[in-house]
Amino acid sequence: MFDRLIRKLTQAPEATRATNLQEWADTIPETIRIKDIAPRCGCRAVGVIQKIRIDPRAGTGSVEVTLDDGTGRLRAKWLGRSKLNGIALGKGLEVEATAGDHAGGELVVLNPSYRLMPGPDGG
């Protein structure tokens, strides 16, 4: 019994966070978890914004948002623009597009349609 208590008290925070994210993602209807996305399927996924990459270089401007739903990560990339209004770390984002493949371990979707929503913590 003490074993469980001590494990709970000293559990790695990353694991706790992943569980919380997954629980949150499960509450959003008609989305699937990132680890279940098959290459080239038309899928709708959801995740919390973990990273934003703005690339303002002329001609190739792009915005890339990395989503995390506790099961894996997905990179949504919009080409030809360097701004996506309303995005901020910690917010939730739903994206729908045909997925690429798992090149380099992370799934990439290009120019998906998207919907902003409050993140798991209401952010």
Partner 1 sequence: MGTTAEALKRLLVGSPKSSGALEHTLLPKVIALPVFSSDPLSSNAYATQEALLVLAVAGAAGLDLILPISIAVATLLVIVVTSYRQTVRAYPLGGGAYRVAHENLGMYPGLLAASALLIDYILTVAVSITAGVEAITSASEALHEHRIGLAFLFIAFVTLVNLRGVRESGTLFAIPTYGFVLSIYFMIGTGVVRCLGGCPLAESAGRELPVAAALGPLLVLKAFAAGTTALTGVEAIADGVPAFRYPQSKNAATTLTVMAALSISMFLGISWLADHTGVIYTATPLGQRSVVAQVALAVFGSGPLFYVIQTMSAAILILAANTAYQDFPRLSSILAQDRYMPRQFMNRGDRLVFSNGIVILALFAALLIYIFDANLTRLIQLYLVGVFISFTLSQTGMVVRGRRLKPPGWKRTAMISGFGAFVTGAVLIIITYTKFLGGAWVVIAAIPFAIYGMRSVNRHYQEVGRELRRPDRRPADRRPGNQHMVILADGVNVATVRAVGYATSVGSAALEAVTFDPGSADAWRRAIPDIPLHVMRPSGSRTGSLREYLRAKRRELTSNDFLTLVVPEVLKSRSLLELVKNPGLTRLKASLLTEPNVQVMDLPMTEDKGDQASLEIHEPLRNHVCVLVSGVHNATLQAMEFAETLRPTDIRAINFGLDPLASERLGDQWLEHGIPHPLEIDDSPFRDLGSSLTHYVRQFRADGTKRVVTIVIPEFITPKRRHRLLHNQTALTVKGRMLLEEGVVVVSVPYHLHD
- Whichever of 21 and 95 has its CB closer to partner 1, that residue is 21
- Whichever of 43 and 94 has its CB closer to partner 1, that residue is 94
- Give dist(CA 74, CA 51) in Å, integer: 10
Binding mask 84-113 for partner 1 (x = CB under 8 A): ----xxx-----------------------
The secondary element (H helix, E strand) that includes residue 66 is: strand 62-68
Percentages helix, strand, coil for the chain (3-state, rounded to 5) are 25, 35, 40
The DSSP secondary-structure symbol of 34 reads: G
Site for partner 1 in 44-63 (CB under 8 A): 48-58
- Whichever of 42 and 59 has its CB closer to partner 1, that residue is 59
The length of the chain in residues reads: 123
Question: Which two structure tokens, joined as six digits, stand for 60?
Answer: 């190739």
Binding mask 68-87 for partner 1 (x = CB under 8 A): --------------xx----
- Whichever of 43 and 114 has its CB closer to partner 1, that residue is 114
By CB under 8 A, residue 19 contacts partner 1: no
Residue 19's SS3 state is: helix
The DSSP secondary-structure symbol of 38 reads: P
Positions that interact with partner 1 (CB under 8 A): 6, 9-13, 16-17, 20, 48-58, 82-83, 88-90, 119-123
